[in-house]
Amino acid sequence: MSQLDPLAQLLSRRPKRLALLERIAELGSITRAAKAAGLSYKAAWDAIDELNNLSEQPLVSRSVGGKGGGGARLTPAGERLLALHQRVQALQAQLLLAAEDDADLQLLGRLMLRTSARNQLAGRVRAIHPCGHNDLIDIELPGGERLQAQITHDSTDNMHLQPGSNVVALIKAGWLELHPLHAPRDEQRNALEGRIEQIIPALDGPSEVRIGLASGQTLCALIAAEQLTALGLNRDDPVRALFAASQVLLGTQL
């Protein structure tokens, strides 16, 4: 992969709300800006509401009606934000062109991700399966282990997910259910197998169980001490961690 490839991917994943700001500044019409940004008229209004709600000062000033379906312009705060975003894009382009290894950039992006979920597993999308109003996202971890995440169609679109996309799967420690390998496997849930590396007891809560996966990644599970005893699980034992596809959150780099 050339160094220009990640640059193209980065620019193609630009948030649609920021693209909408650019089009509003250029066109001065919500209808035309929505069309140019690939949004419906309603989605554009919703995006403007979100932008204004997230900012301490309104970013877009709008008026209802008219031939264009409503006029809109950026406020001074909106103009400053758009200018900053454009400068950041220019700096990102310089960084990507100067990078020697694409993998280093991907690792840097993952290290900059902050989340409350204890388990953060980097992987790659293998396939996307429509399932009612949701999508089942097949993800391959390093070493070949697989898991699925269930997210909405809108989430798939907003994150621009497609086969080959790099993602981070987020799973809360309390969502993992542990079983010995000899126990019957629940085919309806994700199952990652590994070996218990450490059990850290807690005085007033569940024990923390650290599980080493074949990929070299580590899972952290929270489980009551008495449950561990009942399952006969101890340090160095092989173990299977179960969790539902709906309990997997996905993150991507902007």
What is the Cα–Cα distance from 148 to 2, expressed in whole angstroms? 30
Domain 4-99 and domain 115-254, same fold? Reply is no
Q: Does domain 115-254 have CATH number 1.20.120.350?
A: no
The CATH number of domain 4-99, selected from 3.10.20.70, 1.20.200.10, 1.10.10.1590, 1.10.10.10: 1.10.10.10
Domain definitions of the chain by residue range: 4-99, 115-254
pLDDT of residue 127: 97
Going by C-alpha positions, the residue among 224, 240, 112, 114 that lies closest to residue 179 is 240
pTM for the model stands at: 0.62
Ranges of residues in the chain with a pLDDT under 70 are 1-15, 53-56, 63-70, 92-93, 95-117, 253-254
Find all residues with CB under 8 Å of 25, minimum gap 6, and list them. 73, 74, 78, 79, 82
pLDDT of residue 195: 94
pLDDT of residue 68: 47
What is the Cα–Cα distance from 52 to 190, expressed in whole angstroms? 39
